[in-house]
């Protein structure tokens, strides 16, 4: 199953109506949105006027349900995080065998929307940091994938697999990606061991909701956590502060980093700062290629609008002394970190290697 649009004549819509009826007589109001996965979201309402969100997703058994996108993971991680004291959606009803989850409606105000409406950015980002601090001390004990063995970590090669062919209008030579990854291995081996624990993995202002009428950690509604992993705690902070979707104000970085490191030993705080620099660069290397992959393979060219910001952030990342080997490799291989011109998917596809990740 894939998520379906409201259409009274379709089998999918009939299944939806049956599920909402069995869950208490909810009725469709309006689409809420979709993301880069196969999920979509609808706002529904019961007879009392209460609203909820209906998430529709590919079944766990579907080839579309890739790691990090399974309904079963969403449900178990939502329950565990909620039990640890964080605000994940209350689940009202679920039919994983049909791809439906009916859950609490956090409203329409994401952290991004709150910022755009004039909320104090230091307050907003500090709340996000407080959620991460809470996770560091009270993370649920769950069986989760290892970040370093995951496609997310492997994805740091995507800048080579996808951006370079676009810029050069040529197929990458054999061994180029492997040579690039060997430099990353040397950079990581020079780092102190990271503090590790629960990672949300997609921790940014569109997945954090500014819930009206709540205080403290409850003010932050957590979404899109089904891809959670175990790994270096600095990853979620790097994702938050190096967001590809919005410009994070400069005034935020130092106080949020200081808040995140509060209570750490001097060695752990220094390790966290180093790992944050490295993971931020790896994140931007992954996304610089991933937005092109989404356009070429996923049919989602709108993500290309993020590429200029991603490359600007990557250029800033590479000023960190720990990343000098990566900066040197890119210089030696004439990697251009300025935005490419117009990208025609049909033209570019022929330059992508079959083994591109």
Residue 2 has pLDDT above 60, yes or no: no
Residue 198 has pLDDT above 80, yes or no: yes
User: What global pTM score does this model have?
Assistant: 0.91
188 Cβ contact list (under 8 Å, min separation 6): 278
Regarding the domain delimited by 11-104, which CATH topology (the fold level of the hierarchy) does it fall under?
A: Phosphorylase Kinase; domain 1 (3.30.200)
Regarding the domain delimited by 111-351, which CATH topology (the fold level of the hierarchy) does it fall under?
A: Aminoglycoside 3'-phosphotransferase; Chain: A, domain 2 (3.90.1200)
Where along the chain do its domains lie? 11-104, 111-351
Measured CA to CA, the distance from residue 172 to residue 186 in angstroms comes to 22
Distances (CA, A) of 19 to 89, 93, 97, 324: 19, 9, 11, 55
Average pLDDT over residues 289-296: 95
Give the model confidence (pLDDT) of 242-267 as tens digits. 999 999 999 999 999 999 999 999 99
Give the model confidence (pLDDT) of 205-216 as tens digits. 999 999 999 999
Residue 100 phi, psi dihedral angles, 5° rounding: -115, 135
- Give the mean pLDDT of the chain: 93
Residue 33 has pLDDT above 70, yes or no: no
160 Cβ contact list (under 8 Å, min separation 6): 172, 176, 177, 180, 289
């Amino acid at each position: 199953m894939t998520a379906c649009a409201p259409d009274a004549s379709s089998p999918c819509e009939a299944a939806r109506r049956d599920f909402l009826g069995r869950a208490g007589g909810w009725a469709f109001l309006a689409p809420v949105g979709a993301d880069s996965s196969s999920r979509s979201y609808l706002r529904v309402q019961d007879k009392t006027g209460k609203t909820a969100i209906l998430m529709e997703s590919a079944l766990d058994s579907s080839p579309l349900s890739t790691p990090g996108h399974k309904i079963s993971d969403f449900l178990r991680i939502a329950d565990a995080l909620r039990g640890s004291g964080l605000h994940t959606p209350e689940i009202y009803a679920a039919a994983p065998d049909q791809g439906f989850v009916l859950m609490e409606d956090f409203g329409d105000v994401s952290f991004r929307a709150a910022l755009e409406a004039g909320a104090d950015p230091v307050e907003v980002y500090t709340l996000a940091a407080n959620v991460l601090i809470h996770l560091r001390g009270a993370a649920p004990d769950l069986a989760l994938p290892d970040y370093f063995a995951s496609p997310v970590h492997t994805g740091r090669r995507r800048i080579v697999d996808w951006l370079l062919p676009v810029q050069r209008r040529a197929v990458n030579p054999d061994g180029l990606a492997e040579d690039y990854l060997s430099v990353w291995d040397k950079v990581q081996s020079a780092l102190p061991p990271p503090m590790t624990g629960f990672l949300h993995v997609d921790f940014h202002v569109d997945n954090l909701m500014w819930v009206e009428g709540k205080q403290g950690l409850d003010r932050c509604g957590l979404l899109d956590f089904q891809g959670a992993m175990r790994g270096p705690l600095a990853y979620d902070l790097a994702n938050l502060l190096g967001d590809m979707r919005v410009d994070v104000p400069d005034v935020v970085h130092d106080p949020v980093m200081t808040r995140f490191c509060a209570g750490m030993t001097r060695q752990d705080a220094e390790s966290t700062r180093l790992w944050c620099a490295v993971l931020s660069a790896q994140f931007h290397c992954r996304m610089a290629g991933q937005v092109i992959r989404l356009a070429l393979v996923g049919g989602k060219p709108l993500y290309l609008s993020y590429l200029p910001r991603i490359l600007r952030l990557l250029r800033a990342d590479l000023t960190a002394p720990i990343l000098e080997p990566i900066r040197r490799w890119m210089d030696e291989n004439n990697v251009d970190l300025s935005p490419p011109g117009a990208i025609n998917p049909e033209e570019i596809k022929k330059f992508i290697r079959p083994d591109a990740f």
